[in-house]
Amino acid sequence: MEIFINGLYVVATLIILGEVVWDRYRGRGLYTPRDSFQSLYLMWGFWALFTLTKIAAQRLENSLNLPPQTISMNHVLPWVVLTLSYDFIYYWIHRLEHAWALAWKSSHIHHHSSRYMTFLTGFRSSIWQPIYSLPFLLPLYAMGFRTPEIFATVILNKLYNFWVHQQHVGKIAWMDGLFNTPSNHRVHHGRNPQYIDKNFGGIFILWDKLFGTYEKEVEAVSFGVSIDPEPLSPREVLGMGFKRVDVSPATPALQKPQT
């Protein structure tokens, strides 16, 4: 599984490089040095905390002497169950990040802050997410899954979310009703009033339809939040959520987006 995940990261890196070249060729200006470095900085911070959280979870699991794992992960069905279960949990983690001011201001605003919807934006991570997400994983342990496959599923979910951060693909009729797709996720990143706090699903958009948070992409999406991060240093981006008391998921951005 680790080799498979590493292979996916190599593919993702090549896709990002391809988009950079295409962007330069088309002259759209979707990749700027500062915005790109901010995304990489947040990605590296996320990975450092994710790795530490995974180590802590494994040590805690060992110290609690949990019953041996009885679920064989050598079959497809356990992975399907784990993927569905975590995606349901992720929906609520993601929704919490928009509803809980501390999670939004300290972490999730980073992911939404870029005015550019690119593949690299998919790795512009909510830096503290690994820590506050840990309690939400407890039901997966109760189901009999253990740290290695749980955290692998978290990463696979994140890697799925990589491809939906883009503007190259329009609506996909057979996918949009069930899965998180580029069209559905552009809505989630929109600061248009009707798009705010919509489409929280990770892999499946089904959860949004069940819990009343689904919105179709109808009008052009305006990306970003009420603070333009472009002039900020990467370190300043970490505190951008606290620079204005009215910054929240429900606050449309004030500046006109760059096209």
Give the sign of the dihedral formed by CA 6, CA 7, CA 10, CA 15: negative
pLDDT above 70 coverage of the chain, percent: 94
Q: What is the DSSP letter of 143?
A: T
Q: Can you read off the two tokens belonging to residue 45? A: 């911070």
Total domain count, the chain:
1
- CA gap 29, 7 in Å, rounded: 29
In a domain, 259, yes or no: no
* Token couple for 156: 């696979």
Q: Give the tokens for residue 226.
A: 């009420």
pLDDT confidence of residue 242: 85
Give the confidence band of 253 by pLDDT, cuts at 50, 70, 90.
very low
Whether 246 has a pLDDT exceeding 50, the answer reads no
Which tokens belong to 93? Answer: 């983690």
Residue 256 lies in a domain: no
Burial (CB count <10 Å: 0-12, 13-18, 19+), residue 231: exposed
DSSP string, 160-178: HHHHTS-SS----HHHHTT
Average pLDDT over residues 191-208: 96
Bridge partner list, 223: 190
| Residue 160: count of CB within 10 angstroms of its CB | 18
Q: What is the pLDDT of residues 113-150, one digit of tens each?
A: 999 999 999 999 999 999 999 999 999 999 999 999 99
Specify whether the CB–CB gap between 110 and 30 falls below 8 A.
no
The helix (run of H) or strand (run of E) holding residue 12 is: helix 2-26
Any domain includes 32: yes
Task: Report yes or no on 53 lying in a domain.
Answer: yes
SS3 category, 223: strand
Q: Looking at the domain assignment, is residue 247 inside a domain?
A: no
pLDDT at 65: 83
* Residue 93 structural domain: 2-67+75-242
For residue 168, being part of any structural domain is answered with: yes
Three-state DSSP at 53 gives helix
- Tell me what pLDDT residue 50 has: 96
Tokens of 243: 């620079």
For residue 248, being part of any structural domain is answered with no
pLDDT digits (tens, 9 = 90+) for 8-42: 889 999 999 999 999 999 998 999 999 999 999 99
